[in-house]
Amino acid sequence: MYILLTAATKLEIQPTIDFLNKSGSRAGGHTIQILLTGAGSVATAYRLTRQIGKSRPDRVLQAGIAGCFTGRKNGELVAVKEEILADLGVWEEGRFKTLFDMNLAGRNDPPFTNGGLVNPFEEILSASGLEAVRSVSVNEISTLPDRIGWYQQNWSPVVENMEGGAFHYVCIGENIPFLQLRSISNRVGERDKSKWDFPAAVHSLNEKLISLLPDLR
């Protein structure tokens, strides 16, 4: 198969890049191509759509670090089953109104399922061997306690990231089996970088990628 592996930054998947450079960009008989999208939903949507248009992959993976809402350990891995576009809407009268609240889109208008961007490809989710969770995608990293509490109360997410919503949106729309892997680096809202653990998150993420890529079907 031709597998497209995407990440926002090189830092997040450098060990996997090194592994693929040594193996001739192949793993388990698959050809692997790396796409670094840049941070955020706009860059991800543009570069991913452009790459798929040039050469349609059989599978697409997105890998990156994430903040966690639920107190899990740094370096713990999850697979994202559902993404919520958490900050796409308006704050009004003390509450957040989504596109669906404002009747700008229907909760089940494609590619949405009940307001979320749900990965329908159960086989590849199961192949990860990881817990499948809900994530929120935001354009501004969450730091305000009220905003964090709102996300938790309304969507019960496990992790937060900046690119997953765009990734799900494009892959669902293109009907390409996909998988998003996230490795926890910090608690959502924690701004003391000394309490973040990038090395542990990057290590466990790439260890999983290197073992998973050859076995994808």
Tokens describing residue 187: 């608690």
Average pLDDT, the chain: 93
pLDDT of 141 > 80? The answer is no
pLDDT of 13 > 80? The answer is yes
Name beta bridge partners: 145: none
At residue 10, the pLDDT reads 97
At residue 195, the pLDDT reads 75
At residue 94, the pLDDT reads 76
**CA-CA-CA-CA dihedral for 184, 187, 191, 196, to nearest 10:** -40
The predicted-structure confidence for 86-116, as pLDDT tens digits, reads as follows 999 888 887 889 999 999 999 999 999 999 9
The predicted-structure confidence for 31-60, as pLDDT tens digits, reads as follows 999 999 999 999 999 999 999 999 999 999
**Fold annotation for 2-215:** Rossmann fold (3.40.50)
Three-class DSSP category at 82: strand
At residue 184, the pLDDT reads 96
Domain residue limits, the chain: 2-215
